[in-house]
Amino acid sequence: MNYLLSIFIDFFANFGIPKEVVYIIFPIIPFCIVAAALILVVLVLVLVERKILALFTQRKGPNRVGFCGILQTVADAVKLLCKENIEPNVTDRILFSLAPIIAFVPVMVCWGIIPFSSEFDFISISVSSLLFAVIAVIPVIGVILAGYSSNNKYSLIGSVRSAVQVISYELPIMFVILSVSILASSLNIKDIILSQTSMYQVCGWYIFPCFLGFVILFVSSLAELNRCPFDLPEAESELVAGYNTEYSGMRFALFFLGEYAMLFVSSAFITALFFGGFLSPFGFYISEKIFNNNVLAQIGIYFEQAFWFFIKSFLIVFLIMWVRAVLPRLKSSDLLKFSWRILLPLSILNFIYICLFKYIVMIGGLK
Amino acid sequence: MIKKIYKSILAIIIGHITVLKHAFKKRVTLEYPEVKPLLNDKFRGEHLFDINKCKACGMCQKVCPANAITIIKDENGLNEYSIDYKKCIFCGNCYYYCNFNAIMPSSNFELACSSKESLVITFKKAEEA
Ligand code: SF4
Ligand code: SF4
């Protein structure tokens, strides 16, 4: 980031603009990049989800709008934005409008925390993985507000279910993050990623010592994202559409956008913790070989890192969608039982095992 | 307990593999306006009415549960026969009960049109000059 900032200051110095002004306008750039990337990724994700579900159920999926249907989500988005913003009569006006914003804004902050390449970490603090885990649950407050303010029993039940889900699946996530940070000796996501470099390339990824942790984090993320088989807050067959039953138009679009952006950013988080984030799986960067270490290679590496990050995250997203195509929805009580009786003890066991692993294998404590 | 967990994990994995197999099978989607679906022989679509066979006995009018058929008779027999597709539910009673095979089913199901009037199909006896 500092490297980029210096380029930026130099660029504006040519036009005689003082440093202080540049410092103020500099944060706008990451914001714009995040916003653009978020909307693009969501547009792609929705299409990919529909295509993948079609693939698994022997259908063709959207294939009319544009070449092979690639413009379908754009058409849907335009339709959604042009729709009327309907507001039920007896609602809490302020909370009703506030809820989608609260559900969406933290997702953007989460996007800023994830380092998509070794230079582009927009919010860089030493405890960024903890910060991510904390901010990632704030959208639930928006969901609760939405359920409470829309004066609809289905919305309320949906939002209460969502809250219960998050409370019970937050603990296992924290234990997994702790165990990974013990492996990496750091709570910063970038450091965690960089500590996965090893001379055995792929074998350095934390998926190998901590496979159980990956499974726990994956399942818990499914629950936090309200995805199948834990999509109780939006169970169509029981609750109409769950907490967003009363929403339409732009506000619904915000919920929708937040949900899919969170889906991607959670997969990115899993990628960062267990699959080496932006590290290349070959142990070297292709652009390094192509451009022979000149200036282009240095820029190319950043793009290549982002490329690897996106590829790996999309693989996780594929896994999540695959799970959606297979598993039926859980009962509400089973969901809680599964979390408190199986996942939480497992995650504590995993934590102890990782501590021992770190002490014995990585530090060589017994010698 | 452990056996139960093992079994459920196995079931989940088998389920995933089964679903993955479906990804490589032939698609079942028909792209409708270009590819028409294959219909059963007994499909009940638009009626084929043969005005020369009809004896204007009124049976079809009586059995029609939706009152979709109107028959106007004059002294020579049948004058006008009309089927109202706004009301018809394609139950098939009319051709099941017709003794003279004057009314038969066809496989044409594309009856959509842009005006209410064109949904009422009227057959008139040709004037014998
Ligand atoms: S198909 Fe049934 S509803 Fe339609 S005209 Fe014949 S008897 Fe009436
Ligand atoms: S039952 Fe047959 S013959 Fe009799 S009126 Fe109807 S179509 Fe004509």
Q: Measured between alpha carbons, how far is residue A207 from residues A126, A202, A317, B16, B32 in Å?
A: 23, 10, 17, 21, 46
- Tokens 């988080």 locate to A269
Does the structure show a pLDDT above 70 at A1? no
Instruction: State the ligand closest to the CA atom of B59.
Output: 2
Asked whether the beta carbons of residue A58 and residue B27 sit closer than 8 angstroms, the reply is yes
Return the pLDDT at B65. 92
Ligand 1 pocket, CB under 6 A:
B 63-66, 68-69, 83, 88-94
Q: Which residue has the higher pLDDT, A1 or A306?
A: A306
Q: What is B47-124's CATH number?
A: 3.30.70.3270
Return the pLDDT at A352. 92
pLDDT tens string A228-262: 788 877 777 777 777 888 888 788 888 888 888 88
Residues with Cβ within 8 Å of A251's Cβ and at least 6 positions away in sequence, in order, are: A85, A97, A99, A100
Return the pLDDT at B129. 45
Asked whether the beta carbons of residue B28 and residue A58 sit closer than 8 angstroms, the reply is yes
Q: Distance, CA A80 to ligand 1 centroid (Å)?
A: 41
Share of chain A above pLDDT 70, in %: 97
Alpha helices, DSSP H, located in chain A = 2-13, 19-25, 28-56, 72-82, 93-113, 128-135, 139-149, 153-184, 189-194, 211-224, 236-239, 249-274, 286-291, 295-326, 332-337, 344-357
Return the pLDDT at A66. 76
Does the structure show a pLDDT above 70 at A21? yes
The pTM score is 0.80
A341 touches B: beta carbon within 8 Å: no
Return the pLDDT at B98. 87
Asked whether the beta carbons of residue B23 and residue A56 sit closer than 8 angstroms, the reply is yes
Domain boundaries of chain B, sorted by first residue? 47-124
Closest CB from A55, A59, A326 relative to B15: A326
Does the structure show a pLDDT above 80 at A123? no
What average pLDDT does range A87-107 have in this prediction? Answer: 83
Q: For an interface test with B, which of A52, A53, A56, A343 has the most B Cβ atoms less than 10 Å from its Cβ?
A: A56
Does the structure show a pLDDT above 80 at A333? yes
Q: Distance, CA B84 to ligand 1 centroid (Å)?
A: 9
Closest CB from A56, A60, A325 relative to B29: A60
Reported as a pLDDT band with limits 50, 70 and 90, residue A349 is very high
Share of chain B above pLDDT 70, in %: 97
Return the pLDDT at A2. 67
Q: Show the tokens assigned to B52.
A: 């020369």
CA dihedral B92, B97, B98, B100 (to 10 degrees): 130
pLDDT tens string A278-310: 887 776 777 777 777 677 777 777 888 888 888
Does the structure show a pLDDT above 70 at A367? no
Please tell me the residue having the least CA distance from ligand 1 atom 6.
B94
Q: Distance, CA B98 to ligand 2 centroid (Å)?
A: 5
Q: Distance, CA B71 to ligand 2 centroid (Å)?
A: 9
Contact A24, A5 (CB under 8 A): no
Q: Which of A247, A304, A264, A276 is nearest to A120 (CA)?
A: A304
What integer best gives the mean pLDDT of chain B? 84
User: Using beta carbons and an 8 Å cutoff, which residues of B are at the interface with A?
Assistant: 5, 12, 15-16, 19-20, 22-23, 25-29, 31
Q: Distance, CA B30 to ligand 1 centroid (Å)?
A: 29
Return the pLDDT at A357. 85
Atom of ligand 1 at shortest range from CA of B44: 1
pLDDT tens string B56-106: 888 888 899 988 888 888 777 777 888 888 888 988 888 888 888 888 888
Please tell me the residue having the least CA distance from ligand 1 atom 3.
B88
Reported as a pLDDT band with limits 50, 70 and 90, residue A84 is confident
Share of chain B above pLDDT 90, in %: 4
Q: Nearest CA to CA, how far is B74 from chain A (Å)?
A: 54
Return the pLDDT at B128. 53
How far, in Å, CA of A28 to CA of A3, rounded? 16
Asked whether the beta carbons of residue B27 and residue A57 sit closer than 8 angstroms, the reply is no
Residues with Cβ within 8 Å of B74's Cβ and at least 6 positions away in sequence, in order, are: none
Does the structure show a pLDDT above 80 at A15? no
What integer best gives the mean pLDDT of chain A? 83
Q: Which residue has the higher pLDDT, A69 or B96?
A: B96
Q: For an interface test with B, which of A58, A321, A349 has the most B Cβ atoms less than 10 Å from its Cβ?
A: A58
